[in-house]
Amino acid sequence: MTVELVEIVVQKAIIKVTKIETTVSTSSAKTAKGVSVVLHDFNLKPTKAVVVMSAIKLAVFLALEGKVPTKDIHITLHGSLSTDL
Protein backbone atom coordinates (compact mmCIF):
# COMPACT_ATOMS: atom_id res chain seq x y z
CA MET A 1 0.00 0.00 0.00
CA THR A 2 1.22 3.44 -0.80
CA VAL A 3 -0.12 6.69 0.47
CA GLU A 4 -0.17 8.00 -3.09
CA LEU A 5 -2.45 5.16 -4.19
CA VAL A 6 -4.94 5.92 -1.42
CA GLU A 7 -4.88 9.62 -2.37
CA ILE A 8 -5.59 8.77 -6.01
CA VAL A 9 -8.49 6.39 -5.32
CA VAL A 10 -10.10 8.82 -2.87
CA GLN A 11 -9.83 11.65 -5.39
CA LYS A 12 -11.27 9.51 -8.19
CA ALA A 13 -14.18 8.35 -6.01
CA ILE A 14 -15.05 11.96 -5.13
CA ILE A 15 -14.89 13.07 -8.77
CA LYS A 16 -16.96 10.11 -9.97
CA VAL A 17 -19.79 10.72 -7.50
CA THR A 18 -19.83 14.53 -7.26
CA LYS A 19 -18.21 15.62 -10.56
CA ILE A 20 -16.18 18.03 -8.40
CA GLU A 21 -12.41 18.24 -8.85
CA THR A 22 -10.70 18.24 -5.48
CA THR A 23 -7.26 18.00 -3.99
CA VAL A 24 -6.46 15.07 -1.74
CA SER A 25 -3.49 15.15 0.58
CA THR A 26 -2.23 13.05 3.42
CA SER A 27 -1.64 13.93 7.01
CA SER A 28 1.20 12.87 9.22
CA ALA A 29 -1.32 11.75 11.85
CA LYS A 30 -1.24 8.00 12.29
CA THR A 31 -4.20 5.80 13.11
CA ALA A 32 -3.91 2.93 15.57
CA LYS A 33 -5.55 0.55 13.14
CA GLY A 34 -6.83 0.82 9.60
CA VAL A 35 -7.23 3.87 7.41
CA SER A 36 -8.75 7.23 8.28
CA VAL A 37 -10.08 9.59 5.60
CA VAL A 38 -11.15 13.09 6.65
CA LEU A 39 -13.00 15.29 4.17
CA HIS A 40 -12.90 19.01 4.89
CA ASP A 41 -15.21 21.75 3.62
CA PHE A 42 -17.70 19.48 1.92
CA ASN A 43 -21.17 20.83 1.26
CA LEU A 44 -23.39 18.00 0.06
CA LYS A 45 -26.95 16.77 0.24
CA PRO A 46 -27.25 14.06 2.91
CA THR A 47 -27.92 11.36 0.31
CA LYS A 48 -24.93 12.46 -1.80
CA ALA A 49 -22.71 12.49 1.31
CA VAL A 50 -23.62 8.86 2.02
CA VAL A 51 -22.86 7.88 -1.58
CA VAL A 52 -19.48 9.68 -1.50
CA MET A 53 -18.51 8.05 1.77
CA SER A 54 -19.51 4.60 0.52
CA ALA A 55 -17.61 5.10 -2.75
CA ILE A 56 -14.48 6.17 -0.89
CA LYS A 57 -14.67 3.22 1.49
CA LEU A 58 -15.07 0.76 -1.39
CA ALA A 59 -12.27 2.39 -3.42
CA VAL A 60 -9.84 2.27 -0.49
CA PHE A 61 -10.80 -1.34 0.29
CA LEU A 62 -10.18 -2.40 -3.32
CA ALA A 63 -6.95 -0.39 -3.63
CA LEU A 64 -5.61 -2.10 -0.53
CA GLU A 65 -6.63 -5.47 -2.00
CA GLY A 66 -8.88 -6.24 0.95
CA LYS A 67 -5.99 -6.22 3.42
CA VAL A 68 -7.80 -3.68 5.62
CA PRO A 69 -11.33 -4.72 6.64
CA THR A 70 -14.02 -2.19 5.74
CA LYS A 71 -14.80 -1.79 9.44
CA ASP A 72 -11.30 -0.34 9.82
CA ILE A 73 -11.73 2.26 7.07
CA HIS A 74 -13.04 5.36 8.81
CA ILE A 75 -14.41 8.38 6.95
CA THR A 76 -15.15 11.69 8.63
CA LEU A 77 -16.99 14.46 6.80
CA HIS A 78 -16.39 18.03 7.98
CA GLY A 79 -18.60 20.61 6.37
CA SER A 80 -22.29 21.12 6.08
CA LEU A 81 -25.17 19.30 4.55
CA SER A 82 -26.81 21.21 1.77
CA THR A 83 -29.95 21.22 -0.27
CA ASP A 84 -28.09 22.82 -3.20
CA LEU A 85 -25.79 20.10 -4.56
pTM strictly above 0.75: yes
pLDDT band for position 85 (50/70/90)?
very low
Taking every pair of Cα atoms in the chain, the longest distance, rounded to a whole number of angstroms, is 37
* CATH number for the domain harbouring residue 65: 3.30.429.10
**Calpha distance 5→22 (Å, rounded):** 16
Amino acid at 1: M
Helix (H, G, I), strand (E, B) or coil at 39: strand
Range of the domain at 14: 3-81
Domains in the chain: how many in total? 1
**Calpha distance 67→34 (Å, rounded):** 9
Tell me the pLDDT tens digit for each residue of 36-58: 888 877 778 888 888 999 999 99
